[in-house]
C-alpha cells in the first residue's frame, strides 16, 4: 500500500475486515503519544532501544516519503548521519534518534508561509531543493518560492481534475507544456537553476501530482 492515499488505505482496511480478516497487533506510530510506553519502556539495553526507534523511523519514512519527498528525504538523511556519526555509541544514538523522532512528530509546527501544509508545501520543498539548492532562503527568495508554488499548484490542480487525466498522454503533455511556459515566464525565468533544471523540475512536479492526486483535488 506504499504511496496509496490514507483514505484509500482505510477503505482497503475496512474491506479486509468485512471479509473476516482482522488485525491482530495494532501498529504503533512513532508520532503516537504512547510510542515510548508501549515500545521503548519495556526495553532495557540501549542498543535494543536504538534499534527499535531506528526501525520505527525507517518504516514511518518509507510509508510517507511519496507524499512529501523532500521532507522525508531530509529525515532519512538525518537518520543516516546519526548512525554514522555515533557509530557504536548506542546510548548517544538512542538519544539522537529520540530527538529525530520528536522532530518528525512535530513537523506540522513548521512554518508554511501561508501555503497549505499537505497540498502545497511538498511543491515548495521540491522547488527549494532543485532551484535554490536546498540552502536557507532570504525573505525575498521565500516570497518568490511561495509565488511559484501557488502558480504551479493552481495550474496542476485545474488540469489533473479532468476525467482520465493520468490515462491521457495528450493531457499530460499539455500540462508539461504549460508548466514549462510558466517556469520560463518573465516572473520566474530569473530564478537560479530554473532554466537548466526545468525538465527535472517538471518531471518532479508531475510525479508528485500523480502521487498526491487525491490530496490535491480534494
pLDDT tens-digit series, residues 9-68? 667 767 777 777 765 445 567 667 666 666 666 667 888 888 888 988 998 999 899 999
Question: What gap in Å lies between CA 172 and CA 192, rounded to an integer?
Answer: 26
Statement: residue 69 has pLDDT above 90:
yes
Please report, for the chain, the start and end positions of each structural domain, with discontinuous segments joined by +. Answer: 6-109, 121-217
Question: What gap in Å lies between CA 218 and CA 216, rounded to an integer?
Answer: 6
3-state secondary structure of 30: coil
Q: Are the C-beta atoms of residues 75 and 57 closer than 8 Å to each other?
A: yes
Of the candidates 204, 215, 83, the one whose C-alpha atom is nearest the C-alpha of residue 161 is 215
Maximum Cα interatomic distance, the chain, rounded to a whole number of Å: 61
Per-residue pLDDT of 144-169, as tens digits, reads 999 999 999 999 999 999 999 999 99
141: number of Cβ within 10 Å: 16
Model pTM score: 0.80
Of the candidates 39, 35, 107, the one whose C-alpha atom is nearest the C-alpha of residue 75 is 107
Q: Are the C-beta atoms of residues 124 and 146 closer than 8 Å to each other?
A: yes
Predicted local confidence at residue 18, as pLDDT: 72
Question: What gap in Å lies between CA 199 and CA 207, rounded to an integer?
Answer: 12
Rg (CA), the chain: 20
CA 42 from centroid of its chain's CA atoms: 31
Amino acid at each position: 500500500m506504499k504511496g496509496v492515499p490514507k483514505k484509500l488505505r482505510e477503505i482497503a482496511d475496512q474491506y479486509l475486515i468485512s471479509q473476516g480478516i482482522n488485525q491482530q497487533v495494532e501498529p504503533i506510530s512513532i508520532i503516537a503519544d504512547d510510542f515510548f510506553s508501549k515500545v521503548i519502556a519495556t526495553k532495557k539495553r540501549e542498543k535494543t532501544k536504538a534499534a527499535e526507534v531506528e526501525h520505527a523511523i525507517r518504516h514511518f519514512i518509507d510509508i510517507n516519503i511519496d507524499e512529501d519527498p523532500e521532507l522525508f528525504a531530509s529525515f532519512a538523511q538525518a537518520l543516516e548521519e546519526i548512525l554514522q556519526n555515533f557509530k557504536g555509541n548506542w546510548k548517544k544514538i538512542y538519544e539522537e534518534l529520540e530527538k529525530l523522532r520528536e522532530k518528525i512528530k512535530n513537523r506540522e509546527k513548521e512554518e508554511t508561509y501561508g501555503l497549505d501544509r499537505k497540498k502545497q508545501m511538498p511543491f515548495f520543498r521540491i522547488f527549494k531543493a532543485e532551484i535554490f539548492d536546498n540552502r536557507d532562503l532570504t525573505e525575498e527568495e521565500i516570497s518568490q518560492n511561495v509565488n511559484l508554488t501557488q502558480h504551479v499548484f493552481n495550474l496542476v490542480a485545474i488540469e489533473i481534475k479532468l476525467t482520465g487525466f493520468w490515462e491521457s498522454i495528450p493531457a499530460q503533455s499539455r500540462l508539461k507544456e504549460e508548466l514549462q511556459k510558466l517556469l520560463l515566464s518573465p516572473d520566474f525565468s530569473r530564478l537560479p537553476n530554473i532554466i537548466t533544471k526545468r525538465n527535472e523540475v517538471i518531471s518532479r512536479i508531475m510525479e508528485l501530482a500523480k502521487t498526491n492526486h487525491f490530496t490535491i483535488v480534494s
